[in-house]
């Protein structure tokens, strides 16, 4: 069993330094801590457990589900998740080059489902429950207040006093990462003139395990299945003013607006969960490591909630870090972190570029952009080998797939 401990205000915890201290108790931080402790590394998870109910769900792609299964968390999550057996893309931009809807079927690449959709708070709660049961994992429910380097270790100061010593600190502390900023790592930031409205819906017709994404001139409008057949999650990306106006509607008016935007494909709608309004922004860190520091999740990369790539990329960070550290005498050695950084930088750059290109292509009425996007969707619909290649790479990249995510 793991242990939850209180810091000693006069010095470090008893015993030698931890091999790894993971800072941040969200889904990626929890997964990283579980993956590292699974191999017997003495691991501390530093951070307060504070999930936010904002109507957001996460589509866990096949590789992420394999990771969660290896971590012993999937058995508790599976009954709360809906399989995504098909994905449909519909061009609703009004473009002159409007292609027919593109349909992707998981069976075509030998999968029962591309992934499974689950409410974000349920995912964090299940991972937290699993963390409490794992040996070699200590839960420290305090925020980190800073990091210093002392000889062969990093020292984390804790809010309220106390410290944690570790060979390696893993920053899973979000897009505003204080650890990243204090380390002075180079960061590229950008914004979009959009916000994403998130919520959970009940609807009259069965979703049939089909995720549908409408490409509109203001951004994607996506309906993703939830368990039970007649519940779905919504991510509606719209221009900032319109998104704010939608968020200000009462439940009945918002449900009608969603039904219109969805072309009544799921019948009458009802708001069936909390709402969120998410700014659309991007962030990338070209070299996601520093002295005895590795960045994972949104500390290393942030991009719009499009294509189910954000959390899945963060989970690949966690699984890749486990591979890099496994068997190393010193988890924070420069050579260990250099290998981790090389693999993660390429994956993050490719995913960030793909999502950014798609989103920006929707925001412009520039005819060549519309033509390129239309031709691309048409090619995916009609060229089976290309479609299968794109589906496989979208679900689990073959290049550099971490051990715990392999089939």
State percent of the chain over pLDDT 70. Answer: 88
Average pLDDT, the chain: 88
Q: What is the pLDDT of residue 353?
A: 76
For the cut 90, the answer to whether the pLDDT of residue 171 exceeds it is yes
Cα separation, 38 vs 162, whole angstroms: 26
The least confident of 134-138, 221-225, 332-336, 381-385 is 381-385
For the chain, the structural domain boundaries read: 3-51+120-188+282-363
More confident residue, 43 or 161: 43
Closest by CA to 9, choosing from 144, 158, 145, 153, is 158
Q: What is the pLDDT of residue 250?
A: 98
For the cut 90, the answer to whether the pLDDT of residue 364 exceeds it is no
Q: What is the pLDDT of residue 100?
A: 81
Cα separation, 188 vs 346, whole angstroms: 15
Please state which of the four CATH numbers 3.30.360.10, 3.40.190.10, 3.40.50.150, 3.50.50.60 is assigned to the domain occupying 3-51+120-188+282-363: 3.50.50.60
State percent of the chain over pLDDT 90. Answer: 68
Cα separation, 108 vs 129, whole angstroms: 35
Cα separation, 44 vs 61, whole angstroms: 27
For the cut 80, the answer to whether the pLDDT of residue 383 exceeds it is no
pLDDT bucket at 29, cuts 50 / 70 / 90 = very high
For the cut 60, the answer to whether the pLDDT of residue 349 exceeds it is yes
Q: Cβ distance 50 to 173 under 8 Å?
A: no
Q: Cβ distance 236 to 216 under 8 Å?
A: no
For the cut 70, the answer to whether the pLDDT of residue 366 exceeds it is no
The least confident of 48-62, 200-214, 356-370 is 356-370
Q: Cβ distance 173 to 32 under 8 Å?
A: no
Cα separation, 182 vs 146, whole angstroms: 8
The least confident of 78-87, 148-157, 362-371 is 362-371
Q: What is the pLDDT of residue 4?
A: 60
Q: What is the pLDDT of residue 12?
A: 47
CA atoms within 13 A on the CB side of 200: 21
Cα separation, 225 vs 86, whole angstroms: 10
pLDDT bucket at 301, cuts 50 / 70 / 90 = very high
pLDDT bucket at 115, cuts 50 / 70 / 90 = very high
pLDDT 10s digits, 275-292: 999 999 999 999 999 999
Q: What does each C-alpha distance from 69 to 63, 117, 393, 406 come to in angstroms? A: 10, 15, 21, 11
Q: Cβ distance 63 to 312 under 8 Å?
A: yes
Q: Cβ distance 236 to 261 under 8 Å?
A: yes
Strand pairing of 82-84 and 115-119? antiparallel
Angle 62-70/310-325 helices, nearest 10 degrees? 50
Say which DSSP state 93 is in. S
Q: Cβ distance 233 to 209 under 8 Å?
A: no
The three-state secondary structure class of 407 is coil
Cα separation, 236 vs 220, whole angstroms: 6
pLDDT 10s digits, 233-279: 999 999 999 999 999 999 999 999 999 999 999 999 999 999 999 99
Cα separation, 332 vs 340, whole angstroms: 11
**285-288: long-range pairs with CB below 8 Å, 24+:** 285/180, 285/185, 285/186, 285/187, 285/188, 286/186, 286/188, 286/345, 287/185, 287/186, 287/341, 287/345, 288/185, 288/317, 288/341, 288/344, 288/345, 288/348
For the cut 50, the answer to whether the pLDDT of residue 14 exceeds it is no
Q: What does each C-alpha distance from 5 to 18, 141, 142, 299 come to in angstroms? A: 14, 8, 10, 25
For the cut 90, the answer to whether the pLDDT of residue 53 exceeds it is no
pLDDT bucket at 371, cuts 50 / 70 / 90 = low
pLDDT 10s digits, 176-212: 999 999 999 999 999 999 999 999 999 999 999 999 9
Is the pTM of the predicted complex or chain greater than 0.85?
yes
Q: What is the pLDDT of residue 369?
A: 63
């Amino acid at each position: 069993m793991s242990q939850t401990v209180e810091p000693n205000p006069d010095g470090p915890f008893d015993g030698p330094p931890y091999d790894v201290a993971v800072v941040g108790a969200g889904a990626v931080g929890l997964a990283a801590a579980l993956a590292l402790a699974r191999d017997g590394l003495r691991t501390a998870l530093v951070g307060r457990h504070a999930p936010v109910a904002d109507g957001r769900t996460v589509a866990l792609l096949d590789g992420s589900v394999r990771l969660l299964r290896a971590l012993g968390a999937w058995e508790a999550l599976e009954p709360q998740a809906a399989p995504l057996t098909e994905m449909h893309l519909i061009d609703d931009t009004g473009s002159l080059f409007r292609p027919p809807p593109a349909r992707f079927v998981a069976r075509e690449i030998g999968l029962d489902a591309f992934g499974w959709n689950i409410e974000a708070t349920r995912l964090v709660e299940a991972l937290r429950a699993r963390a409490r049961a794992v040996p070699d994992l200590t839960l420290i429910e305090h925020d980190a207040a800073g990091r210093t380097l002392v000889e062969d270790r990093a020292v984390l100061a804790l809010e309220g006093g106390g410290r944690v010593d570790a060979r390696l600190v893993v920053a899973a502390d979000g897009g505003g990462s204080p650890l990243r900023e204090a380390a002075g790592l180079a960061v590229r930031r950008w914004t979009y003139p959009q916000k994403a409205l998130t919520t959970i819906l009940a609807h009259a017709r069965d979703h049939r395990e089909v995720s549908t994404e409408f490409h509109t001139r203001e951004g994607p409008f996506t309906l993703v299945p939830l368990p039970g057949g007649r519940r779905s999650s919504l991510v509606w990306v719209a221009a900032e003013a319109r998104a704010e106006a939608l968020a200000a509607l009462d439940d009945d008016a918002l449900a009608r607006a969603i039904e219109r935007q969805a072309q009544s494909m799921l019948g009458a709608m009802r708001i069936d969960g909390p709402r969120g309004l998410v700014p659309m922004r991007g962030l990338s860190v070209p070299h996601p490591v520093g002295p005895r520091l590795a960045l994972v999740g949104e500390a290393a990369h942030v991009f719009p909630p499009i294509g189910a790539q954000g959390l899945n990329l963060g989970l690949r960070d966690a699984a890749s870090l486990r591979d890099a550290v496994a068997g190393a005498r010193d988890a924070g050695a420069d050579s260990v972190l250099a290998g981790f950084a090389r693999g993660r930088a390429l994956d993050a750059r490719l995913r960030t570029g793909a999502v950014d290109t798609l989103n920006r292509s929707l925001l412009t009425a520039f005819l060549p952009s519309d033509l390129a996007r239309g031709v691309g969707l048409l090619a995916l619909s009609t060229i089976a080998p290309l479609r299968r290649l794109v589906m496989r790479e979208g679900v689990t990249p073959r290049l550099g797939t971490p051990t715990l995510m392999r089939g």
